[in-house]
Amino acid sequence: MSKEPDLFILSEHADLLKKLKAWDIAYHQNDAPIVDDATYDAVKRRALEIEEQFPSLAKDGASTHVGASVSDKFKSHMHSVPMLSISDVFNEDEVADWFNKLTSKDIFIELKVDGVSYSARYENGKLVRGLTRGSGVQGEDITENLKTIPDIPHELVGDFPDVIEIRGEVYMNRDDFIALNAESDKQFANPRNAAAGSLRQLNPAITATRKLSAFAYTYGEISNRNFETQSEYFEKLKSWGFKTTDKWASSAHNMSEIQDVYNKIMLIRPEIPFDIDGLVLKVNDIATQERMGSRANSPRWEVAYKFPAARAITTLRDITIQVGRTGVLTPVAELEPINIGGVVVSRATLHNADEIKRLNVCIGDKVVVQRAGDVIPQIVEVAEKHTQSCDFIFPATCPVCGANVVQESGQVARRCVNTMGCPAQRIGALEHFVARKGFDIEGLGTKQLEAFIARGWISTPADIFTIIARHGDDIRKMDGFGDKSVANLNDAIERARNVDLHRVLYAIGIPEVGEVTAKILARAFGNLIAVRNAPAWKLKSIDGIGDVMADEIVSFFGDEHNARALDDLLGQINVKDADITTQNADGILAGKKIVLTGTLSKYTRDTAKDILEQLGAKVSGSVSAKTDIVLAGTDAGSKLTKAQDLGITIWGEDDLDRIIEQSKQ
């Protein structure tokens, strides 16, 4: 009997899949990756390790996932044969594990081109449809876009099958990428992004202006296969009018030969005019390929032997500190500019103070810079020391506002505590302040806040409540504003002057304090003065307030900058004390811990929360062994799965209606 995963594994696996899904959408749909290849690979490998240990998690997991769902901007079609991904291997041992299981040791080795996968369907020699990989089962229709690429013929020549789907990679040469960025307002991060963004244009005329290239390397549906090996197929592709990577292709029959090819390509990698991120190792004999078959998302007869991320050596000029929107201080390496794979890199992240110490990196050192996945450059190691020992002194005060910098117990990051007044955090803090769950000021969105901040009209939350009186005439003259819009904004601001305590506690941006915690604090203390003066020990005694959260609350209210900004705000608003008996101790759901998940059709999430709390329940954001009930709507995800595994009672909206009726009796 197979071992079942515990709560920690379930939670970790769900979190990994959530990250992979978001990153896949950013990469495949939006052509704007948000993490580097190394980070993505590490997360995916961990998910696969868990699924290998607990096969029950493999269904709908990383083991079965390919690409991302198709965008609704394009027409879509089902692939007649799924476009699978290729399993990655990262070192000789992993290659050997794959190679030693093969019955055929004749291996065909190709370059793994860092581009965008395509499938081109030909019927009677004519190109009739082009698709992206999409989800692997369904792809986006890019037929007209493919027709603009010179390397993809509109008609095949020679002896070709009646039906064949040619599959390969659209890419952009590095020189063409650099030229495109030089003449374009939009700056692409790397050649792969440029190729993806160009190929997935809704207007094929734009695609035609970009210098895209394409290789062919495999096939999907085929009516009549008249070749026996992958190497023969490459020759067929060329005879039909396609380009292949045959110039760099090799064969191997043992591990030594495979590694020799790997080392050779690594040495000439900078000379190859387009980006590659590894080699593809394939069983050459196609009959053997067919016998071996595929897993859920990848063939068994091929693997991608990944290269390390692109690297180069340059000089560290300086270390500066960047303050993010959440107040986290990040050290940044200022570098002697260097071209790495077509991208000029002059800055790289050093992550945090611990990383600087670990690297023992000093200003003036020669450092190895890695453009991991071509997204976020980072320093890997010191190549040549300029100074043997130098302790970088991390600032004790914020370089932007001068407030204290704190590092909470057990945390790596260091953070500016001046949440309400630090200019670096200002836009993020004010967006949070006016949001629906905070002061809910309609008409004061990101665009308006940025404009008012740029003009110096708003710097703290209190300024919002005086902006119309001070600058109303000037606002009316701005684009997008007039008498009516200014009047509407003024009405929204005036309505916000009278606000519930829990909304204030949420809106002022105390780290770790979300909507649920804000309500817990409001009910526990009743008024703002009591919350501001609460010692850590008292906060920790409240159900739902942990040690870290309590320390954050005390630190926030203890900071003089926050205290000053809050006092200014209180001069403009009226905070309504909380009824500490709002949660009905005698209610029909008294003492029950309930979690909401999915989309409810009859109620908004906030309305459902209020109803449950009025009936005595405690509404939590996460499922645990202490959860009594999970109220699930449509599209419920990992929370529902976790609850089912734990044997927790599951409710639908009908159950909520039933309880409401019972409470009225």
Q: Has residue 477 got a pLDDT over 50? A: yes
DSSP secondary structure string for all residues of 302-326 = EEEEEPPPEEEEEEEEEEEEEE-TT
State mean pLDDT over 17-34.
Answer: 70
Which tops the pLDDT comparison, 421 or 305?
305
Residues of the chain with CATH 3.30.470.30: 88-306
* Residue 464 confidence (pLDDT): 94
Q: What percent of the chain lies above the pLDDT cut of 90?
A: 34
Q: Has residue 391 got a pLDDT over 80? A: no
* Residue 1 confidence (pLDDT): 44
| Tokens describing residue 393 | 């002194």
pLDDT confidence bin for 429, thresholds 50/70/90: confident
Q: Is the domain 593-664 a CATH 1.10.10.10 member?
A: no
Q: Shortest CA distance to 650 belongs to which of 579, 566, 594?
A: 594
Q: Has residue 165 got a pLDDT over 80? A: yes
State mean pLDDT over 213-230.
Answer: 95
Residue pair 410/548 in contact (Cβ under 8 Å)? The answer is yes
DSSP secondary structure string for all residues of 219-278 = EEEES-----BHHHHHHHHHHHT---SGGG-EEESSHHHHHHHHHHHHHHGGGSSS-EEE
Q: Has residue 483 got a pLDDT over 60? A: yes
The Cα 174–Cα 465 span in angstroms is: 52
Give me the phi and psi of 649, to 5 degrees please: -65, 130
Write out pLDDT tens, residues 562-585.
899 999 999 999 999 987 654 556
Q: What percent of the chain lies above the pLDDT cut of 70?
A: 92
* Residue 303 confidence (pLDDT): 96
* Residue 66 confidence (pLDDT): 56
Which tops the pLDDT comparison, 50 or 341?
50
Phi-psi region of 409 (alpha: psi -120 to 50; beta: other; left: phi over 0): beta
Q: Who's near 182: CB < 8 A, 6+ residues apart?
A: none
Q: Who's near 342: CB < 8 A, 6+ residues apart?
A: 174, 177, 178, 190, 191, 275
Q: Is the pTM of this model over 0.85?
A: no
State mean pLDDT over 442-465.
Answer: 89
Q: Is 264 a residue of the active site?
A: no
- In the DSSP assignment, the letter for residue 570 is H
State mean pLDDT over 460-485.
Answer: 90
The kind and range of the H/E element at 500 are strand 498-500
The Cα 334–Cα 348 span in angstroms is: 7
Write out pLDDT tens, residues 530-571.
999 998 888 887 777 878 788 889 988 998 888 999 999 999
Write out pLDDT tens, residues 594-607.
888 888 877 777 77
Which tops the pLDDT comparison, 536 or 51?
536
Q: What is the number of other CB atoms lying within 10 angstroms of the CB of residue 535?
A: 10
Least confident of 362-376, 432-446, 524-538, 565-579: 362-376
Q: Is the domain 7-57 a CATH 1.20.810.10 member?
A: no
Q: Which residues, listed in sequence order, are joined to residue 651 by a DSSP beta bridge?
A: 631
* Residue 664 confidence (pLDDT): 66
Q: Shortest CA distance to 360 belongs to which of 332, 333, 381?
A: 381
The Cα 582–Cα 465 span in angstroms is: 29
State mean pLDDT over 16-37.
Answer: 70
* Residue 232 confidence (pLDDT): 97
Choosing from 44, 112, 592, 639, the catalytic residue is 112
Phi-psi region of 193 (alpha: psi -120 to 50; beta: other; left: phi over 0): alpha
State mean pLDDT over 444-465.
Answer: 89
Instruction: Tell how strand 574-576 and strand 498-500 pair up.
Output: parallel
* Residue 374 confidence (pLDDT): 43
State mean pLDDT over 364-369.
Answer: 86
Residues of the chain with CATH 2.40.50.140: 310-384
* Residue 193 confidence (pLDDT): 84
The CATH superfamily holding the domain 310-384 is: Nucleic acid-binding proteins (2.40.50.140)
Helices (H), 541-637: 547-558, 560-570, 605-614
Q: Who's near 262: CB < 8 A, 6+ residues apart?
A: 279, 305
* Residue 85 confidence (pLDDT): 87
Least confident of 6-10, 81-85, 146-150: 6-10
Domain covering 88-306 in this structure, CATH number: 3.30.470.30
Residues of the chain with CATH 3.40.50.10190: 593-664
State mean pLDDT over 176-180.
Answer: 87
Residue pair 57/65 in contact (Cβ under 8 Å)? The answer is no
Write out pLDDT tens, residues 287-330.
999 999 998 778 999 999 998 766 777 889 999 998 876 788 88
Domain covering 423-576 in this structure, CATH number: 1.10.150.20
Longest pairwise C-alpha distance within the chain: 85
The kind and range of the H/E element at 146 are helix 143-146
DSSP secondary structure string for all residues of 500-513 = EHHHHHHHTT-TT-
Q: Has residue 500 got a pLDDT over 50? A: yes
The Cα 216–Cα 239 span in angstroms is: 12
The Cα 24–Cα 31 span in angstroms is: 10
The kind and range of the H/E element at 167 are strand 163-171
Instruction: Tell how strand 618-620 and strand 593-597 pair up.
Output: parallel
Q: What is the number of other CB atoms lying within 10 angstroms of the CB of residue 560?
A: 12
* Residue 515 confidence (pLDDT): 83
The Cα 603–Cα 611 span in angstroms is: 10
Residues of the chain with CATH 1.10.287.610: 7-57
Residue pair 645/626 in contact (Cβ under 8 Å)? The answer is no
